[in-house]
Amino acid sequence: MKYSPLTTDRLILREFRELDWKAVHEYASDPEVVRYIVWGPNTEKESQDSVRQAIRHQQEKPRKHYEFAMVLKEDNRLVGDCGIDIPYPESQNGAIYFLLSRHFWRKGYATEAALALLSFGFGQLKLHRIFSKCHTENTACIHILERIGMRREGHFRDYEQIDGKWCDTFWHAILDDEWQTVSRES
């Protein structure tokens, strides 16, 4: 099932299209952008495949993956991606993520996208709990998650391998009733 784009003050979060792979490849092939992620840097084929996979997910029933191209309203430039994964719909839990070209870091775009994902997840998808995981050294991501009202719930030691090295991961989460309080205050 396809969804209408989500909008923020400066962003449009829309479903992926086939031709988006080139813009995705610009940031997904950047070692600095993917340094805290288990995949990447991407080859052109991997970027093409990831966009095709996102498009295939649009047809899932029930849909478990909502992947959005993060596009600037001012010039329609694709600068990142974000989404919600719902591995087990019956649990009413979803995991959010966001990835942004380094040329657009520290401008508040990831925070805007993350807030839109929480609103979408709790509002339209009727989730009970939304969580996110990030590398313990990814201070920018940690700051964003805590800024949007997510609470650190766990520290998983040696959770993932990145470039052949085991890394610790923090898990953050927010519940639907907590989101109601956060969203009223913002």
Looking at the structure of the chain, the number of domains it has is 1
Specify the pLDDT at position 181.
Answer: 87
Please report whether residue 85 resides in a domain. yes
Strand ranges for 86-183 from DSSP E: 93-100, 129-135, 151-162, 165-175
Specify the pLDDT at position 186.
Answer: 63
The pLDDT > 70 percentage for the chain reads 98
Write b or e for each residue in 20-46: b if 16 or more Cβ atoms lie within 10 A of its Cβ, otherwise e: bbebbbebbbbeebbebbeebbbeeeb
Please report whether residue 89 resides in a domain. yes
Using CA atoms, how far apart are residues 59 and 65, in angstroms rounded to an integer?
10
Q: Each residue of 92-137: pLDDT tens digit?
A: 999 999 999 999 999 999 999 999 999 999 999 999 999 999 999 9
Structural Rg of the chain based on CA atoms: 16
Please report whether residue 151 resides in a domain. no
For residue 165, list its beta bridge partners: 162
Q: Is pLDDT above 80 for 1?
A: no
Q: Is pLDDT above 70 for 2?
A: no
Using CA atoms, how far apart are residues 69 and 5, in angstroms rounded to an integer?
9
Please report whether residue 118 resides in a domain. yes
- CATH classification at residue 79: 3.40.630.30
Residue 184: pLDDT band by 50, 70, 90 thresholds? Answer: confident
Copy the structure tokens of residue 147.
């800024």
Helices (H), 10-169: 21-28, 44-57, 109-123, 139-147
Please report whether residue 145 resides in a domain. no
* Residue owning tokens 């807030």: 115
End-to-end CA distance of the chain: 30
Closest CA to 24 of 50, 1, 4: 50
Range of the domain at 89: 6-132
Other beta carbons within 10 Å of 86: 21
Helix (H) or strand (E) holding 62: none
For the chain, the maximum distance between any two Cα atoms, rounded to a whole number of angstroms, is: 44
